[in-house]
Amino acid sequence: MDVLYPHCSGIDIHKKSITVCVLIRESGRKEQKQIREFGTTTAEILRCGDWLQELGITHVAMESTGVYWRPIWNLLEGRFELLLANATHIKNVPGRKTDVKDSEWIAQLMQHGLLKPSFVPDTVLRDLRELSRDRTSLVAERSRLKNRIQKILEDANIKLGSVASDVLGKSGRAMLTAMIAGNQDPQGLADLAQGQLRLKIPQLVEALRGRVRTIHRFRLQQQLARVDFIDAQIAQLEAEMEKQNAPFEEAVSLLAEIPGFDRTTAWAVIAEIGINMNQFPSANHLASWAGVCPGNNESGGKRLSGKTRKGSRWLRQKLCQSAWCSSRCKNSYFAAYFQRIAAHRGRKRAIVAVSHALLVVCYYLLQRKCHFEDLGVHYFDQLNHEKLTLYLVKRLTRLGHRVTLEPSSAVA
């Protein structure tokens, strides 16, 4: 095989140490191979970088081992042409597993250009990723706390969640605060309802007739304090994300136009994929990287499985949440698309399909820097008008109707 990178290196990364293999091949001379082991402290990594520079190394490859590759990347970035490889793509032959052989194998693959680089954004986007993922984790923790509060209320035979859609809304929060203060009068608690919930006061009176003990009040107070703390943390994160996303305001505004998207979703998508779409050959490559397209597993002419790959779970989670929202937007293309897929393939597959469509839209909006234009809820009806008309006529005929078609000047 041809040697594409005559001065390259492969790094096998662990928590406490890294094994570095250097391969140098020059014309008319025997290949040189050197292997050294370094620690993972800052001083050791910098010493490794100095050693690689002394040898004239230009390209360095490493595998994505948990989070342990990040400090190596951060300290060597800018000094070498770095490549992060998926660990599943560079597995060696079984029975030859040592740190030295792993680093040598990575270096050999790099030397011949057999490694596919993983997408690693620049420092600014990496920082945005951390903020966005921290916010996602906090929102998930807040949801868990809400579930714990609901369990405490159920233990006290309080059925507030059966009447109010949000136990921690303004009305629910006022009732819980009064309950913690010792108020057990169902009528008095129900009178704290606000807005449309006041129409359900008779149901609230029955739902709030329970047996709240001292331990319930103590636990509710603890959980509400944690919810308040997390809400404050989320507000601080969003303020910082707003500040960090200032350079990408144009891209954020474009993505926020998509049905089911808001600014926080736009922040999360930009943090995961960036704004430069040239790093992905096509929208299909981006969808494959994100794990929102069908898998391809065929043998002997038979399709064995269409299971999606793992991809970026953070991005896929945001896309699926947005897909649920967009599938409920009236007069939207995505709502029609969801119903079209769900009727034959089920709701879960339909959500993945809508997520794929949303990501494709994001790709082209960022690539072309254009505004979103909804195709409309009747897009699929107009796509093949004659075929749909014949299908509907056949269905009505099977039901025992005689159908006569008359052209109409007005289009519904």
pLDDT of residue 412: 44
Tens digits of per-residue pLDDT, 100-125?
898 999 999 999 999 988 888 889 99
CATH topology of domain 7-111: Nucleotidyltransferase; domain 5 (3.30.420)
The two beta strands, 81-85 and 59-63, are parallel
pTM of the full predicted structure?
0.84
What whole-number distance in Å separates Cα of residue 364 and Cα of residue 389? 33
Structure token digits, residue 221: 């107070």
**Cβ 356 vs Cβ 241: under 8 Å:** no
The string of DSSP letters for 85-119 reads E-GGGSPPPTT---HHHHHHHHHHHHHTT-PPBPP
The two beta strands, 17-24 and 81-85, are unpaired
Reported as half-sphere exposure (CB side, CA atoms, 13 A), residue 11 has a value of: 32
pLDDT band with cut points at 50, 70 and 90 for residue 27: confident
Query: With pLDDT > 90 as the criterion, what percentage of the chain qualifies?
Result: 70
Structure-token match 């034959």, residue found: 344
Q: Which residues have C-beta within 8 Å of that of residue 374, sequence separation ≥ 6?
A: 259, 331, 332, 333
- Amino acid in position 140: A
What whole-number distance in Å separates Cα of residue 68 and Cα of residue 11? 12
pLDDT band with cut points at 50, 70 and 90 for residue 31: confident
DSSP letter (8 states) at residue 146: H
pLDDT band with cut points at 50, 70 and 90 for residue 410: low
- Amino acid in position 386: E
pLDDT of residue 264: 93
Q: Is 405 helix (H, G, I), strand (E, B) or coil?
A: coil
What whole-number distance in Å separates Cα of residue 327 and Cα of residue 380? 15
Which has the closest alpha carbon to 258: 130, 383, 131, 366? 366
Which has the closest alpha carbon to 353: 341, 365, 361? 341
Q: Does residue 411 have a pLDDT over 60?
A: no
Least confidently predicted of 23-32, 90-99, 148-157: 90-99
pLDDT of residue 408: 74
Structure token digits, residue 186: 């169902």
The string of DSSP letters for 334-386 reads HHHHHHHHHHHH-HHHHHHHHHHHHHHHHHHHHHHT-------TTHHHHHTHH
Intra-chain end-to-end CA distance of the chain, in Å: 64
pLDDT of residue 379: 86
Tens digits of per-residue pLDDT, 355-389?
999 999 999 999 999 999 999 888 888 888 888 88
Tens digits of per-residue pLDDT, 191-201?
999 999 999 99
pLDDT band with cut points at 50, 70 and 90 for residue 128: very high
Buried (b) or exposed (e) across 290-308, using 16+ Cβ within 10 A? Answer: bbbbbeeeeeeeeeeeeeb
Tens digits of per-residue pLDDT, 44-87?
999 999 999 999 999 999 988 889 999 999 999 999 999 999 88
Domain boundaries, the chain: 7-111, 124-244, 248-368
pLDDT of residue 179: 94
H or E element at residue 61: strand 59-63
What whole-number distance in Å separates Cα of residue 274 and Cα of residue 266? 11
Q: Does residue 251 have a pLDDT over 60?
A: yes
H or E element at residue 19: strand 17-24
